Structure 1
Amino acid sequence: MKVFVGYAKEDKEAAHQVTGFLETLGLDVWFDKKSLIAGDDWDDERLAAQRSADLIIHLCSNQILSRAGVVNREIRETLRLADDKPFGSTFVIFIRLGGVRLPAQFMRYHYIDFDDDWQQAIALAVGKGWPNSAVAKSADRIQA
């Protein structure tokens, strides 16, 4: 299962924590700090990773929501891709950092607060979205 993780550079530490946890579940995670190499066309690589992802996770903070630029294009692309997915499928997860107020466009998706239970919430979402996968079995162990 391929997972794309998007975040603002100011939230890099939280993104590392989320990415590390996803990797413990056996997921193939696209994280720019690990997935890009010198000379890559960053925008093309990011777009290809989003389009091939089974799940996209965006860490949402004041930083990501208060400025213009690539990060907004990335989220808009995720929402566009989500519109093409089957109804009821788990494709996008927003993780809220610092209690930021999420935009109305995000509210059709239940979000996760980055607090003491964020790992369990991600594990539950992965298990629900892919119940017969090896990842779901790993998620079941975390919940136990």
Structure 2
Amino acid sequence: MSCALLGRVFAPRATAATAATAATAATAATAANLYTRLRSDGLRGLWLKAENLGGGQDRQEEIKKAIERSRAVVVCLSSAVSRPGSVNRQIVWALDVAMEQPQGAVFMIPVRLEPCDIPDRLSRWMHVDLFADDGYPRLIRALRDVDRQYGEG
């Protein structure tokens, strides 16, 4: 699975990836914890900015590449990053790639880390509430569905 987690989260094409670019330290920490939990539960191909970028790398270029290589993008949302008009550059890049996906393909997975609004541009995709009892299992199911789209899992 290639997945990018963008602290608002994104996933790469080898499976599910995660690219984290958080607006707050709390959101970044939660995205990092999610990345660690997904890895410990056997998901591979994850990408998180804090984990995968090295010193001196072009941050924007590497995030774009991770999104383009992703089979899914998990966008982590919190009240700090879900204000009206706050759709950041990384999410816009992921939206561009999402528009290239076949009809019905699972690619964008908005994940609410806490009760908050979903930005309008992400509202067409069913979100997962990570704070709900069934939130994490629903996220795992969505990521496994992505694998099945590619004949894996």
Instruction: Give the conservation status (yes or no) of the 8 Å contact 2:111–2:128.
Output: yes
Displacement of 1:104: 2.3
From 26, 29, 32, give the equivalent of 2:46. Answer: 29
Please give the residue correspondences for 1:21-60 in structure 2 after superposition, counting only pairs within 5 Å: 21-23=37-39, 24-60=41-77
Paired residue type of 1:91: F
Instruction: Give the conservation status (yes or no) of the 8 Å contact 2:77–2:111.
Output: yes
Select the structure of larger CA radius of gyration: 1
- What is the aligned partner in structure 2 of residue 16 from structure 1? 32
SS of the equivalent of 1:22 reads helix
SS of the equivalent of 2:29 reads helix
Percent of aligned positions with the same letter in both sequences?
22
Please report the TM-score for the alignment, with normalisation by the length of structure 1: 0.83
- Runs of 4+ aligned residues of structure 1 deviating over 4 Å after TM superposition are none
Whether 2:107 is the aligned partner of 1:91: answer yes
Distance 1:66 1:56, change over 3 A: same
- What is the aligned partner in structure 1 of residue 147 from structure 2? 130
Deviation track 1:29-75 (CA, whole Å, cap 9, x = no partner) reads: 11011101111111111111111111111101122233878x61111
Please give the residue correspondences for 1:59-98 in structure 2 after superposition, counting only pairs within 5 Å: 59-66=76-83, 72-98=88-114
Displacement of 1:9: 4.2
Q: Mind listing any 5+ residue stretches in structure 2 that lack a counterpart?
A: 8-21
Displacement of 1:14: 1.2
Q: Alpha carbon RMSD of aligned pairs, Å?
A: 1.9
Query: Whole-Å Cα distance in 1 between the matches of residues 127 and 105 of structure 2?
Result: 15
Paired residue type of 1:90: V
SS of the equivalent of 1:80 reads helix
Query: Whole-Å Cα distance in 1 between the matches of residues 117 and 43 of structure 2?
Result: 31
- What is the aligned partner in structure 1 of residue 5 from structure 2? 5
Q: Mind listing any 5+ residue stretches in structure 1 that lack a counterpart?
A: 137-144
- What is the aligned partner in structure 1 of residue 127 from structure 2? 111
Q: Give the structure with the higher percent helix.
A: 1
